[in-house]
């Protein structure tokens, strides 16, 4: 190893060198889900055949046995008031960005959980709390700096193809080293938190959420539903997560049905935008190094009670098997007209003006060979069960940021895939950027 380090330094490498068996190495190579943990050897990218992965927040498939290009030092947060935009380093978690925006009246379309990385989130779509108001985070990209496989440095705004590609498929074309994203007014009056219900209320909640999904006229009124199990008895619990930008009175009127249903516990209240974001981190902790984590998505253009019931049934059935302690589902309604009107040409991920996402995920404690594949198969089965319950013709492309490893690219990019493949052949002919969704199989 020391010979290799000497070779690096004598070749003029002046960056940080992180050695195995150090704390920094453990941290830099830790995956969010232990099933994708690898043992990288060294940073040396001029080797033609060295496998590598680019990593921003490390929440997804950014692991390699060869090298990891860890962007954690790319952490700038510069506000350009004149142009109403932020210049962001992609290698930091969103919580860094929110911390620096604490005393500003503006914010960006960032992750709902502060651990998530700016880079992967934004170039894979990006569903934030502000999605119903302003669309996807990738819709808010104004420009980006990208280092291509041949070492050239380009700006996205000067290249229509790359500008298109990094809006939903940005993992596959180069290293995005800077993102320029639009700034938006930070909500000043927020009603958020959690309202907990027993399973007996699920049918009624499905009816109300389906009604909200179809008829909500105010993008300031948002509500997500989580299906989880809670200690000590590990009962199935429904968590309603209101996120209303308005007064508490307005929130209670807009979602009055929630309180009328009789919650088990009401943990909702007026909060600041920062508190609303921090609350998510109370629920979502960084998993242990041995915990596997995989997710999937089902995206529909009509959210029906039948679809939501199929999701719950999958989860309840799964938990009859005591080995699966950590399966949960999130139902995310994005309301009519939330997203930029698209002819699918401007954004690598084809999405209509509204859609609804069902996200099942499994955390496992067992990293025995074959186990991760078994869990992936369960997630595929969930996808099938929910899609079978959807109204005909309402199933849309899967969401890139919730990609289950092994899902074919066509399931995410649909009619945009041929264009993405043509761009890929031009800018990365040797397919060096081959982690995550495979644009070229």
- The residues binding ligand FAD (CB under 6 A) are 32, 53-62, 71, 90, 111-113, 116-117, 119-121, 124-127, 170-171, 175-176, 284, 401, 435-436
Which of 132, 145, 133, 129 minimizes the C-alpha distance to 181? Answer: 145
> Which residue's CB is nearer to ligand FAD, number 119 or number 305?
119
Rounded CA-CA distance 440/148 in Å is: 17
Rounded CA-CA distance 342/348 in Å is: 11
> Which residue's CB is nearer to ligand FAD, number 163 or number 389?
163
Minimum Å gap between C-beta 431 and ligand FAD is 13
Q: In what order do the strands lie in the sheet with 77-80?
A: 77-80, 85-88, 175-182, 141-147, 153-155
B/e letters for 135-154, b = 16+ CB within 10 Å, e = fewer, are: bbbbbbbbbbbbebbeeeeb
Q: What six digits make up the tokens of 186? A: 């930070």
Asked if residue 131 lies in contact with residue 338, where contact means CB atoms within 8 angstroms, the answer is yes
Minimum Å gap between C-beta 333 and ligand FAD is 14
Minimum Å gap between C-beta 362 and ligand FAD is 12
Rounded CA-CA distance 107/127 in Å is: 14
Question: Which element (helix H / strand E) includes 365?
Answer: none
Minimum Å gap between C-beta 246 and ligand FAD is 21
Q: What is the DSSP letter of 166?
A: T
Question: Which element (helix H / strand E) includes 420?
Answer: helix 417-427
> Which residue's CB is nearer to ligand FAD, number 90 or number 263?
90
> Which residue's CB is nearer to ligand FAD, number 60 or number 423?
60
Minimum Å gap between C-beta 195 and ligand FAD is 19
> Which residue's CB is nearer to ligand FAD, number 168 or number 305?
168
Minimum Å gap between C-beta 437 and ligand FAD is 8
> Which residue's CB is nearer to ligand FAD, number 120 or number 263?
120
């Amino acid at each position: 190893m020391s010979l290799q380090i000497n070779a690096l330094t004598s070749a003029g490498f002046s960056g940080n060198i992180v050695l195995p068996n150090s704390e920094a190495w453990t941290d830099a190579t830790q995956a969010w889900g232990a099933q994708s943990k690898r043992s990288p050897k060294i940073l040396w990218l001029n080797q033609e055949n060295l496998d590598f992965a680019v990593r921003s927040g490390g929440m997804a498939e950014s692991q390699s046995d060869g090298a990891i290009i860890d962007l954690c030092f790319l952490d700038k947060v510069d506000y350009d008031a004149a142009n109403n935009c932020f210049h962001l380093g992609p290698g930091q978690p969103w919580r860094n960005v929110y911390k620096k925006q604490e005393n500003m009246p503006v914010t960006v379309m960032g992750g709902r959980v502060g651990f998530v990385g700016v880079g992967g989130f934004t170039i894979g779509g990006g569903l934030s709390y502000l999605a119903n108001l302003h669309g996807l985070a990738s819709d808010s990209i104004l420009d980006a700096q990208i280092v291509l496989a041949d070492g050239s440095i380009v700006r996205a705004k000067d290249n229509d193809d790359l500008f298109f590609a990094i809006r939903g498929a940005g993992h596959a074309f180069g290293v995005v080293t800077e993102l320029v994203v639009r700034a938006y007014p930070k909500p000043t009056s927020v009603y958020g938190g959690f309202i907990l219900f027993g399973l007996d209320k699920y049918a009624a909640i499905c009816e109300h959420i389906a009604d909200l999904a179809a008829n909500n006229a105010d993008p300031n009124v948002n509500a997500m539903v989580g299906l989880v199990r809670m200690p000590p008895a590990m009962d199935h619990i429904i968590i309603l997560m209101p996120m209303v930008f308005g007064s508490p009175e307005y929130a209670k009127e807009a979602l009055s049905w929630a309180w009328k249903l009789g919650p088990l516990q009401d943990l909702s209240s007026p909060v600041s935008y920062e508190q609303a974001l921090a609350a998510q981190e109370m629920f979502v902790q960084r998993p242990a190094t041995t915990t596997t984590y995989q997710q999937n998505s089902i995206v529909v253009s009509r959210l029906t009670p039948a679809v939501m019931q199929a999701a719950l049934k999958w989860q309840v059935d799964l938990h009859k098997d005591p080995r699966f302690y950590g399966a949960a589902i999130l139902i995310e309604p994005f309301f009519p007209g939330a997203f930029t009107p698209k002819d699918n040409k401007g954004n690598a991920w084809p999405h209509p003006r509204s859609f609804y996402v069902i996200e099942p995920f499994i955390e496992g404690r067992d990293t025995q060979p074959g186990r991760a594949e078994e869990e992936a198969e369960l997630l595929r089965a969930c996808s099938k069960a929910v899609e079978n319950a959807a109204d005909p013709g309402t199933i849309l492309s899967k969401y890139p940021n919730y990609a289950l490893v092994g899902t074919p690219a066509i399931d995410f990019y649909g009619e945009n895939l041929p264009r993405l493949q043509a761009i890929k052949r031009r800018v990365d002919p040797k397919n060096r950027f081959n982690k995550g969704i495979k644009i070229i199989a």
